[in-house]
Amino acid sequence: MGIQISPSILAADFANLERDIASVANADWLHVDVMDAHFVPNLTLGLPVLERIAQVSPMPVDAHLMIEDPDHWAPKYAEAGATSVTFHYEAAKDPVAIAKDLRALGARASVALKPGTDVDVVLDHLREFDMVLVMTVEPGFGGQSFMPEMLPKFTALRAAAEAAGHDLWLQSDGGVSRDTIEDIAAAGCDVFVAGSAVFGADDREAEISALRDLAARARPA
């Protein structure tokens, strides 16, 4: 699988979402952050808005659920049109059961790890997941600085996936920019969530292309 760029609409203009979504149409995914003000100290959007976004987005939608009780809610986001649903390991009662439910609905199943969560918690069940999201900032707010101490997580997960013969995608979310993307790619990541770096650019499509090229050159052969 090649490098994939997933702009986060957390950095978009919420009053003009359809316009801003169209402005990043050369991306591979559209990253939609769902926050409930309980699991994280921020509140964004929910099912009705995501459903409408999925209807107008030229890219498949990856719903990143920073919410409590993903065992109940995650399948509903797949039913609402998300092609990939990412839930947090820390909020889940049964991560493997959630992943099975998502796959049964035809969605990609992804589990996210906060900075303080060790990758060991998912290593025994890697085949149950299509992607692991390594948070490279504390979840909840955009515009934070990248945490380089998270890089070994990508290396460990990539090694474990290769040892298991599993085509696992690894996603980075937080502080992804031209200054950081090469180091993240070199560590084994292949899916990059970029919010401020993309939506803050004068030419958003050009920024997406530049990020993709930088990551592709840095990615291990």
- Distance between CA atoms of residues 132 and 182, nearest Å: 19
Position 142 scores a pLDDT of 61
Position 138 scores a pLDDT of 83
Residue 172: pLDDT band with limits 50, 70, 90: very high
Q: Please state the rounded mean pLDDT for residues 99-117.
A: 97
Position 144 scores a pLDDT of 66
Is the confidence at residue 14, as pLDDT, over 70? yes
Measured at the CA of 194, the angle between CA 103 and CA 54, to 5 degrees, comes to: 45
Residue 165: pLDDT band with limits 50, 70, 90: very high
Pick 4-218's CATH classification: 2.60.40.1180, 3.20.20.70, 3.40.50.300, 3.30.70.580.
Answer: 3.20.20.70
% of the chain surpassing 70 pLDDT: 97
- Distance between CA atoms of residues 80 and 175, nearest Å: 28
Question: The sheet that has 191-194: what strands, in order across it?
Answer: 4-7, 191-194, 169-173, 131-135, 108-113, 84-88, 61-66, 30-35
Position 140 scores a pLDDT of 61
Residue 167: count other Cβ atoms within 10 Å of its Cβ.
10
Q: Please state the rounded mean pLDDT for residues 173-200.
A: 96
DSSP element (H, E) containing 161: helix 151-164
Q: Please state the rounded mean pLDDT for residues 17-32.
A: 98
Q: Please state the rounded mean pLDDT for residues 97-104.
A: 98
Which residues participate in catalysis according to the annotation?
A: 33, 173
- Distance between CA atoms of residues 105 and 93, nearest Å: 19
Q: Please state the rounded mean pLDDT for residues 36-48.
A: 91
Structure tokens at 143: 């515009």
pLDDT digits (tens, 9 = 90+) for 114-159: 999 999 999 999 999 999 999 998 876 666 678 899 999 999 999 9
